[in-house]
Each structure stands twice: as C-alpha cells, then as structure tokens.
Amino acid sequence: MLYWSLKTLLSEPMRLIVSALAVAVSFILVIFFSAVFEGESEQMVAYLEEMEADVWVMQKGVSNMHMSSSMVWDWKADKVAELPGVREVAALLYFNGPVKIGGRDWFSYVIGISPEYSRAGPWALARGKSMPDPGEVVIAEVIAKLTGVGIGDEITLVDRRLKIVGLSKETFSMSSAVVFVSREDLGDLLEGRDQYSYIMVYAEPGVEARALAERIEQEVDKVNALTSDAFIHSDRQLAVQMGAEIIRMMTIIGTLLATLIVAFTAYSLIARKQRELAIARALGFGSGQIYLAALYQSVMITLLGLLLALLISFTLLSWLPTIAPQLNLAIRLHQFVPLALLALPLAILASLGAARTVARVDPMAVFHS
C-alpha cells in the first residue's frame, strides 16, 4: 500500500506540487516570523556585542539597557578605571525614546558620547564622521534611506534640532535604532551633565571578567557590575519575552494552517481514490494498511512542503533585505528544529480526517460499474 500511495501521489505531479507549495507557504510564514524575531533580537543587542567590553557597570538595581534607564556619577568611571585589573574604561550616557527623523518618530537608543570615550561611538560608518559635536547627530544609514534624509539635514530629539553629520551601519532595527549624539547635548536634555548611564570596562589580559565585576561592586558604591555575557543575555531575554508571545502565536497559526492544508490534501486524495481503496480492501488489505497509505501520503506532502519551505526561505530571506533594508532577518538552523519536530505529528493529525473516510470504505463498491 505504501508503494501504491507513493505512485498515486507521483501520478498527479501538479496536484502534489501545489499541495506541497501550499504547505510550504504556511511553513515559510512561520520561518519568516521566526527570522524577523531572531534578526530583531540580535540587532537589539548588537550595540552591546560590538562594544566588546568585559564588564558593564550601571546603576544599582538595573540589569538591562533595553527599556531601562541608568544613572551613575561620572567620577565613578574614574574610580573604576583606577581599580587593579582594569585596562581601560569607556562611559556613555543613554536615553531610550523616540527621535523624529524625516517627519516620523523612530524609537531609538540615543547614545551620548564624548571624545575621551570615543570607542562608545559607531563601529561601522557609511558616510560622514563618527564623533558628533554638540548640535550634531549620527543616525542609522537605513533610516536615512527610508526617509530620504542625508548629511546636513536636521532631526528632532525631544526639544532640540540636531544636524546629521554621519550615517552608521548595522545600527538599525525595527524596534530600536541606535542614534549617537554628543554627551553634552544628552546631558543637557537629561539634566545629567555630571553623570553617565553605563561604564564599559576592559580588563587587563588574564583578568577574569566575573572576578572583576565582583571587585567593582565591592569597591564602588551603588553600582551593578555585570559581565558582558550576563548583560547581553539579560537584554536578549527581555527581547525574547517581549516577542515570544507574538512569535508563538504566529507559529501556532502557521502550523494550524499547514495542518489544515495537509489534512485537506490527504482527505481529498483519499476521497477521490475511494474506489481504489475499496479494491484494495476487497483484495485483502486491512483498514490499518489502508490508513497507513493515507498517513504515508500526509507525511510525504508535509516533508515535501517542509523541504520546499527551507529552500524558498533560504533563497527569499537572503534576498529580501536587499529590497527591504529595514528588515533584520536571521536564519539559524535551530529555527527549523521545531518545524521538523512538528512535521510528523502534524502529518498524523492531518491524516485523521482521511482515516475516517478509510474506515467507511465499502469493499462492495467494487461491484458498481
């Protein structure tokens, strides 16, 4: 019966391809949302990763950058710098909020940087200069492309107009872009000219980051010191918590859609082949064997759909950002694991409708001409 089900599927290649494509579309939907989520999550911690600090120091009680605010006195940066095991520090002022660019509000990480801590600035520049002076700003190149603004144009940060002097790369995500201003401007805005938000600490060679973080917390009052790994993990977790529900919902919808398509295809195939199933039953095949044939067809359609989804996803998702630069898409192998694991139960579930039909197959139908 398995051979028959394979041959029956292959005898109608167009129907098979259309069914598999329909399944693939629903899988692609799941993969696409997962890729967007993964890309956005990665982009949200891109700044933290690119800074390559060993330890991040922040206000006591704070453990994130995303959706957080932190204030530490500027002298604490000097104090941290003097601790044994510290090779270098870089401090930044930070504000999390909307920036009006090209007539539209962009939710942004606004980083206030000063020349003495220039490594807190943009790590990849497309055009212009990387260190903004007072009254200047460096924005993400993608925003400039999307809004049509460029170097020399102005943006609005809360109540002040800033002139674009640089365009940075790899600093855009749909949920938050990174905008660089002078520490002076941001300090005025936040009324924190003598404060920083985060202090990045670079350890001497051979100094372990965790031990250094503990030492900083012991030596400097009212600060929280996290290793870079812990800080990035904490921010990533926050992003996952925020997006996980949506992604889970989309995965459920996509999977349900795929199940319905496979079920409909398997059912219609079985319904159209009722007579052949009656022949098989008359010749001595049992209901179990016939059901297995239906299940096999469901599995084939599902796996073919999954394969097509993977091929199309890899092709489409690697090409999509070239026409839609605002999309941060990340395709990782682990994203396909849930789909691959879902495929078999999905096929079994989808074949249940066909099983009902199989159980009703009347072998006496072979006598009808």
User: 61 vs 184, 264, 277, CA distance in Å?
Assistant: 26, 54, 69
Name, in order, each residue with C-beta under 8 angstroms of 349's C-beta and a sequence gap of 6 or more: 259, 263
Rounded to 5 degrees, what angle do the CA atoms 233, 238, 244 make? 110
Residues that bind another protein (CB under 8 A): 1, 3-4, 7-8, 10-11, 275-276, 279-287, 363-364, 366-369
Residue (340 or 359) nearer to another protein, CB: 359
Nearest distance from residue 344's CB to another protein, in Å?
24
Q: How far is Cα 149 from Cα 164, in angstroms, rounded to an integer?
A: 9
Smallest gap, in angstroms, from Cβ of residue 356 to another protein?
Answer: 17
* Residue among 108 and 297 whose Cβ is closer to another protein: 297
Choose between 71 and 366: whose C-beta lies nearer to another protein. 366
Query: Rounded CA gap, 292 and 355, in Å?
Result: 9
Which pairing describes strands 55-59 and 198-203: parallel, antiparallel, or unpaired? Answer: antiparallel
Q: Which is nearer to another protein, 227 or 297 (CB)?
A: 297
- C-beta closer to another protein: residue 13 or 152: 13
Q: How far is the CB of 361 from another protein (least distance, A)?
A: 12
Cα of 142 vs its chain's centroid, Å: 18
Least distance in angstroms from the C-beta of 267 to another protein: 18
Helix H or strand E encompassing 271:
helix 228-272
DSSP notation for 321-335: HHH-TT------HHH
- Tokens read off for 80: 């941290």
| Calpha distance 212→208 (Å, rounded) | 6
CB of 362 to another protein, least distance (A): 9
Q: Within 158-227, where are the H helices? A: 183-190, 209-219
- Distance (Å, rounded) from C-alpha 216 to C-alpha 211? 9
Toward another protein, which CB reaches closer, 248 or 275?
A: 275
Nearer to another protein, 60 or 356 (CB): 356
Contact 133, 186 (CB under 8 A): no
Yes or no: say if 152 and 163 are a contact pair by the CB < 8 Å rule.
yes
> Based on CB atoms, which residue is closest to another protein, 200 or 300?
300
Amino acid at 55: V
Structure tokens at 227: 């290793």
CB of residue 21 to another protein, shortest distance in Å: 21
Closest distance to another protein from the beta carbon of 1 (Å):
7
